[in-house]
Amino acid sequence: MSITNNLETINSKLPEEVKLVAVSKTKPVSELMEAYDAGQRIMGENKVQEMVEKYEKMPKDIQWHMIGHVQRNKVKYMAEFVDLIHGVDSLKLLKEINKQAKKHERVIDCLFQLKIAEEDSKFGMSAKDAKSLISSEAFLELKNIRITGLMGMATFTDDTDQVRSEFKRLKTIFEDLKPIASNNCDLKIVSMGMSGDYAIAIEEGSNMVRIGSRIFGARD
Ligand SMILES: *Cc1c(COP(=O)(O)O)cnc(C)c1O
């Protein structure tokens, strides 16, 4: 199957309100261009340097999403153009994004990455940490970032009941935090679901799926 065909198949299954992030990490620009020519405009990368290189070579109407864990010293390279940062999990990182966004006189949209998987994963905040962060004075001072939603990854397992309950957990946290709105916090996006589990994620309330291998084929 071609990239164009894969995109067509996936898009035909996505409800209208669900946005598709085409996860293009490790793939060459020529393959991203095939997705672009098929109409795909949101690309997801997990390494800042790789995203910058692709950004420079590709049409400027692409929305670049950073889906990986971000090191603070790399934020400056993408601050000018990044459309959404999915993996924010600390005030320290948020402060750096705010600082770099300010230099470019822009507001950068971010998602909090929540830890929902049972398996040990290094990244992601607890619901409690996310709640106290968005309610804090330090957070409200950050004028050049905006938290627009939550992101989570389910355990990599064949146990669909477990995957479903982890996605349910993220949706529940989202509904719980949603009322805490402010100038820089307006929760609208629930980013969950990848190639293997996006159908379950959508059933559980996802409105943004991040799909790589089902579009571009397996990565090395
Ligand atoms: C790689 C990656 C994806 C896409 O994974 P596939 O299984 O290839 O669809 C989605 N989200 C994150 C955070 C990733 O790192």
Q: Write the pLDDT tens digit of every residue in 13-65.
A: 999 999 999 999 999 999 999 999 999 999 999 999 999 999 999 999 999 99
Q: Is the pTM of this model over 0.85?
A: yes
Burial letters for 169-205: b for 16+ Cβ neighbours within 10 Å, e otherwise?
A: bbbebbeebeeeeeebbebebbbbbbbbbbebbbebe
Distance 183 CA to ligand 1 centre (A): 30
Ligand 1 atom with the shortest distance to the CA of 211 = 9
Each residue of 92-117: pLDDT tens digit? 999 999 999 999 999 999 999 999 98
Distance 182 CA to ligand 1 centre (A): 30
Distance 196 CA to ligand 1 centre (A): 9
Cite the DSSP H helix spans in the chain.
Answer: 3-13, 29-37, 48-57, 75-78, 91-103, 127-134, 137-140, 160-177, 198-203, 213-216
CATH (residue range 3-216): 3.20.20.10
What is the residue extent of each domain of the chain? Answer: 3-216
